[in-house]
Structure 1
Amino acid sequence: MAVRPILTWPDDRLATQCAPVTGPEDALIADMFDTMYAAQGRGLAAPQIGVLKRVFVMDCGWKEGEPTPLAMINPFIMAAERAEEIGPEGCLSIPGIMVSVSRPRAVTVQWTAPEGDIHMADFDGFEARCIQHEFDHLNGMVTFDRLDEIARRTAEAHYKEMNT
């Protein structure tokens, strides 16, 4: 399909709540996978390419040699483990910046697959972190929004310095 340009922060579209998907999105999903792999990412949400729809793709295993591509349409986090874990996160829309983000270690997610089937599954570890990161994008959030005020100011200043 096609590699699309990835929006970078502070583009307003990255802060926009996305609309539910109402029909097939095969071409969009194919483009999203192509774009994610070309950018060396492990996840990509539709708003990151300027499409304000509730869909994201991920592949947490491909860099280690075992591809695990997954597309989630209209995902919903049904449950999250109470205990949180702090871990590093990068974002294709905030290139060059890694921040420490606290997130639940495990989540239960319901989503529609590209072929229209509804799925529900439990995810933990890095997959759970990736899902929550991409889910945030669908709700108009980026990693900066998960930081306390001081950490956010520091990360934003570093990002702006890198891009001036």
Structure 2
Amino acid sequence: MTEPLKVIELGNPVLRQRSQPVLDVRNERIQTLIDDLILTVQKANGVGIAAPQVAQSDRLFIVASRPNPRYPHAPEMEPTAMINPRILSHSSETEKGWEGCLSIPGIRGQVPRFRAIEVEYVGRDGRQYRQELTDFVARIFQHELDHLDGIVFLDRVQSTQELMTEQEYQQRVVQAPEA
């Protein structure tokens, strides 16, 4: 049985490197990495994970939105491998939202992101996909794409006043009564 991979944390130089394009999607190492990333993100209660977060410098990430203890209001979707992804266009409208990261445990930040994006990527089946993503799933895509370019969400927070610990986030944001 496959074991979850070790998620590297902020300070590991791989997180700050631009990752390399995947040339052969059907390569056994890439297919195994996809399976391992899906297992890792599910076990860690994440909604996305990029190859650099497990010290693999490949332009590949998984978007796996689903409700879990870290993101109780996340929409449900099948885990999707997105290889050599890119944003083709985006809305002019941005929106701040809370983000966390498996590679930066214990911290959340308010990050501005485009509300809607049109994206292109290669699936694990080798086919090219193009789709529009909005709201939370668009946020996940942008967060994971940043990882492929050596950027972490802390780089996008506009003020340290917009940071909080995971514990405070869970108490104030997740468990807060609706206004």
Q: Deviations over 1:50-93 (max 9, x none)?
A: 00000000111354684421110000110111110000000000
Secondary structure at the residue paired with 1:97?
Answer: strand
Secondary structure at the residue paired with 2:104?
Answer: coil
Q: What is the rounded CA distance, in whole Å, between the counterparts of 1:65 and 1:135 in structure 2?
A: 19
1:12-27 superposed matches below 5 A = 12-23=13-24, 24=26, 25-27=30-32
Give the corresponding residue for 1:48.
53
* Cα distance, 1:68–1:76 mapped onto 2, change above 3 Å: same
Give the corresponding residue for 1:116.
126
Q: What is the rounded CA distance, in whole Å, between the counterparts of 1:105 and 1:52 in structure 2?
A: 27
Instruction: Write out the 4+ residue segments of structure 1 that deviate beyond 3 Å after TM superposition.
Output: 62-67
Give TM-score scaled by structure 1 length.
Answer: 0.88
Q: What is the rounded CA distance, in whole Å, between the counterparts of 2:59 and 2:75 in structure 1?
A: 28
Q: What is the rounded CA distance, in whole Å, between the counterparts of 1:49 and 1:35 in structure 2?
A: 9
Secondary structure at the residue paired with 1:96?
Answer: strand
Give TM-score scaled by structure 2 length.
Answer: 0.81
Higher helix share: 1
Q: What is the rounded CA distance, in whole Å, between the counterparts of 2:32 and 2:113 in structure 1?
A: 31
Secondary structure at the residue paired with 2:3?
Answer: coil
1:4-153 superposed matches below 5 A = 4-23=5-24, 24=26, 25-61=30-66, 63=68, 66-148=76-158, 150-151=159-160
Q: Deviations over 1:81-119 (max 9, x none)?
A: 111000000000001111000011010000000010000
Which residue identity lines up with residue 54 of structure 2 in the other structure?
Answer: I
Which residue identity lines up with residue 44 of structure 2 in the other structure?
Answer: A
Give the corresponding residue for 1:162.
none
Q: Is the Cα contact below 8 Å between 1:57 and 1:70 reproduced in 2?
A: yes
Q: Is the Cα contact below 8 Å between 2:110 and 2:163 reproduced in 1?
A: no
* Cα distance, 1:99–1:118 mapped onto 2, change above 3 Å: same
Give the corresponding residue for 2:175.
none
Secondary structure at the residue paired with 2:39?
Answer: helix
